[in-house]
Structure 1
């Protein structure tokens, strides 16, 4: 979201991301472009039908989000390890732990119209730092943004780090790099 904001707000003088996701691409294409056009069209049809169900007072459908048990899916299990354990689990007052981190079908498809990397080059000449884990399933998004962005830009790949590792594994988070980046560009 910071990429999208930086394109339209010149007050952002230096932009850094850690474990970035392009939620538009993830919803349109799936990870590593694993979703077909037919699958996407089916999701859109299902969401359109669901909007009418909800308009009539029917039950809300939830989709995606963090699973509630380990399943052997590496991406899902990585998110489970953070969001469904004391490591990162937070259920806001009044919320159900069954729906926390799970979007509704009708809201999630709106991401299919979200293109944060279009015109990313307009952020230049403001500096851009993209940090990702070498083992992160989300690495493709930082690499895509880096390829599209204009200079000055930097892509930092952290060895032995997955996506969620860069949330809280302080020994892996490049605090020195972030500090230097912001101190040198926010004078």
Structure 2
């Protein structure tokens, strides 16, 4: 598999973001790790949203949200956005119990090609760079592909939890980041 680009959302990727979103909506697929992309028709609105959460500025008042960094996974030879991955810098109550530090998605037409495992592996050095020593990642109990992705990156099973209001069970895994170098160049 050729090298991939792990980049932050930016105006030059607006067309790729729009195409990515359209494929998810057409397929009726979940968009985990994408923040509010499903609700944002204009890709530039999403780019601005992602950039706002990735700075040291104030977060919206009255909500228990956390700083996060969004990445796109771009295939250089055709510019196609094959996935997205979000790193949450700390926990709130929901993330500590269910969501974890990382959420990710691979577009429906690019699944089962190894992109998720590579995207996660390529993101872990950034997690070390922002000071995390281990990361929590969860997946639905019926999501075999995500479980394999997490295990391929050193995930160690901790527990299975039921998410009230969502009628789903999530498996929780921890990845120790001591085996991953700190990144100096995550866009």
TM-score, with normalisation over the residues of structure 1?
A: 0.25
Relative to total residues, which structure has the larger strand share, 1 or 2? 2
Q: Which protein has the bigger helix share? A: 1
TM-score (ref. length: structure 2): 0.25
Task: Pick 1 or 2: higher relative contact order, CA cutoff 8 A, min separation 6.
Answer: 1
